[in-house]
A and B are shown apart, each in its own frame.
Chain A
Amino acid sequence: MINAIKYSRFLNSIAEEIDISPSKYQDAVNRYEAVGLWLERGDYEEFSDELTIYPQGSFRLGTVVRPIKNGFESSYDIDLVCELPMDKEIVAPRLVKSIVGDRIKEHGIYRQLLQEEGKRCWTLEYAEEDGIGFHLDILPAVPNPLTNADASIAITNKRDFSYSWSASNPKGYGVWFDNKNRSAFEFVLHEQKQSIQARSPDIFLRVEDVPNQLVRTPLQRAIQLMKRHRDVYFDDRHSNEYSPISIVITTLAGHFYRSELDTFTALSNIVDRLHAHAELIANQSINSTSPIKRTQDGKWYIGNPVNSNENFAERWHEDNHARAIAFFTWIDALNRDLVEIIKETRSEDIRKILSTSLGIAIATAHFELIVPVRSENIEVPKIHIPHAAKPWRV
């Protein structure tokens, strides 16, 4: 048995490790503000009002996870919306995409960092000296309000050589997520800012200087851990094209979070509630109040909480429900690896399960929080030295 309090502390340390560090966060903000300023200061013939730049996705939501690629920790992805004050009805998506791209290319350095045109965005790739770089994805967009005070936008979509619009509402989604997070956020706010400031006094002179964006609730921690587990679980699996997308994980976790104030309890409750939906694969019964639904025609529905027309699970029925099956198989593994493990008694098994499911580097670094550090009964490698080189000095 692992002590639940210790285990929660362990999970927090893991989440902290895969999270963006305060200094990296500051770097990222500086980088994107500089890009934002450059875009704002452009001389645009097509419009006269100000354009706006804001983060969306995990960077906005505080659920950033350092991606893992082929077993290695890799660069952070940061998504920015660049909203041009243009009328969707009279402007073509191709033009919106190229206005932003052209302006980026006017800058000597950005031109060099710019990657090949993406489906929806322009990507600047920053290789940093410490080896932990960023991908800055800039999504050109225009306002697309459904009602008066609505923050919905239309983003461009490139397919082969033609462009179309897609609906999106990152600001609205952010507000929805903040609401789910609010009461826990208030609760952890002060304590976390204090501890962040204490650990990085050279970055934040005072506790008040720590931005809210760096505070993490158990919901955000749980989402980070789920994403990490997913990344490791699907990293070398053939089914990785069916790996659940982050927005699905974030949305469902948001729905199933009940403001639990400890990371393990939050994670285990979310996973439990998701687990209970696995029977939807066999059973097409429609529970109209659940966030995961089957529709009359056997398809799946996980609605965008701020735009019910957008279905995050619209492809789940394809390939014989491959994405749905992958999702629930993964939830099963997640339950076994990160929730049920608390009942495990042998520390070697605990080590093994946690290091294979979270990444060996990250998990081993924090084992001392839950299992006794190497004692005599744990093998120290025995090395025989038959002959040896002589030490030297240049």
Chain B
Amino acid sequence: MEDELLNQIKELQCVHDGLILVRKSASETVLSGILNFEASVDGYETISSRFEIDLIVPIDYPETLPCVRETSKKIDSNYDHINSDGTLCLAIPIEERRVFSEQPSLLGFINRLLIPYCYGYCYWKKYQIHPFGEAEHGFKGIVHFYMNSLQLKDEVSVLSVISYLYEHGYRGHHRCPCGSDQIVRKCHGKLLRSLIEQHSTHTLENDFLSILIYCSEKNEREVIKIPERLHRQILRILQTAQKQCR
């Protein structure tokens, strides 16, 4: 990985030569400096800008994706898409991984995730409109991401799909967890397969837990109803996970 990372850094620096390798420790590699770009989006104006950033590449990259801090306080502190630890919230984790998988390198990360984010910020700053839309915060954003990208009818279906993915992964001949009565291959097959490919163990588990917490809370308030069958499946998953912990 060391060599591969080095190559990716070189490739990145060929395009964005203001980013400088500043340190490497046991846990991370940090590039720091200036990101200049001129970004064009179909149907929107072209924006040139300059951001100062730290790009923090974790030791288990690409299993875990890098995170970014903006270091010159160019982004308003009241901008809605900065995490409490100061890192930029580029996208919902699985969407971030999906976009990253299109060009899985540091250069891809910068060009496909960070620069669009910066473009979005500049545009928002000027017109108070998000050119690419914005995800809802927290767990709700995650649930809605699955609902929209898989065209699911409600939150319970999202919980059903994520529980299924977490428990079984991709199984073409199973009945589709969306509730359609068709087998996976003929229903959500393609979409579920690429989700599994894009997730890491960690992000899949995170999404499962996030969606579960979100739905359980709504279930308790009786806003939604988790069916008995799904309930039993979730208990089974949690028990297995607990056993594995021991």
Contact = CB atoms under 8 A, between A and B. Distances in A.
B134 A391 contact: yes
Contact of A393 (B20, B36, B138): B138
Interface stretch (B88-96, B197-205, B221-229): B88-96
B87 to A, nearest CB: 9
B137 A393 contact: yes
B146 interface: no
A89 interface: no
A73 B132 CA distance: 39
Given A70-B2, A391-B120, A364 B135 contact: no
B90 A389 contact: yes
Interface string B23-58: 111101000010011111110000010000000000
Contact of B130 (A383, A386, A390, A393): A390
A65 to B, nearest CB: 16
B82 interface: yes
Contacts of B26: 127, 131
B6 A381 contact: no
B111 interface: yes
Nearest to A365: B20
Given A130-B25, A361-B21, A392 B137 contact: yes
Contacts of A131: 23-26, 28
Contacts of A365: 20, 33
Nearest to B48: A380
Contacts of A390: 91-92, 95, 130, 132-135
Contact of A380 (B25, B33, B36): B36
B219 interface: no
Contacts of A380: 36-38, 48
A364 B18 CA distance: 8
Contact of B119 (A72, A132, A360, A385): A385
Interface string A71-82: 111100000000
B16 A389 contact: no
A74 B138 CA distance: 39
Interface residues of B, number: 57
A374 B36 contact: yes
B81 interface: yes
A383 B20 contact: no
A394 B119 contact: no
Contacts of A391: 80-81, 88-91, 117, 120, 130, 132, 134-135
Nearest to B96: A389
A382 to B, nearest CB: 5
A294 B160 CA distance: 82
Interface string A92-116: 0000000000000000000000000
B80 to A, nearest CB: 6
Given A72-B21, A131-B24, A380-B37, A389 B116 contact: yes
A364 B119 contact: no
A237 interface: no
B39 A385 contact: yes
B23 A381 contact: no
A346 interface: no
Given A365-B20, A383-B111, A388 B120 contact: yes
Nearest to B15: A381
B8 interface: no
B115 interface: yes
A19 B173 CA distance: 63
A393 B82 contact: yes
A394 B138 CA distance: 5
Contacts of A392: 81, 89-92, 95, 134-137, 141
Contacts of B78: none
Nearest to A359: B21
A73 to B, nearest CB: 7
A130 to B, nearest CB: 7
B106 to A, nearest CB: 14
B95 A381 contact: no
A364 B40 contact: no
Interface in B89-108: 89-92, 95-96, 98-99
A238 interface: no
Interface in B123-167: 130-138, 141
A374 B82 CA distance: 29
Nearest to B132: A388
B22 interface: yes
Nearest to A391: B81
Interface string A340-380: 00000000000000000000110011000000001000001
A159 interface: no
B105 to A, nearest CB: 14
Interface of B: 2-3, 6, 13, 15-18, 20-26, 28, 33, 36-42, 48, 80-84, 88-92, 95-96, 98-99, 111-113, 115-117, 119-120, 130-138, 141
Given A70-B3, A382-B38, A385-B119, 8 more contacts: A380-B38, A381-B16, A383-B38, A388-B41, A388-B99, A389-B132, A391-B135, A393-B138
Interface of A: 70-74, 127, 130-132, 360-361, 364-365, 374, 380-394
27 contacts: A70-B3, A74-B24, A130-B23, A360-B13, A361-B20, A361-B22, A364-B20, A364-B33, A365-B33, A382-B38, A383-B38, A383-B40, A385-B40, A385-B115, A385-B116, A387-B132, A388-B116, A388-B131, A389-B92, A389-B99, A389-B116, A390-B91, A390-B95, A390-B133, A391-B132, A393-B81, A394-B89
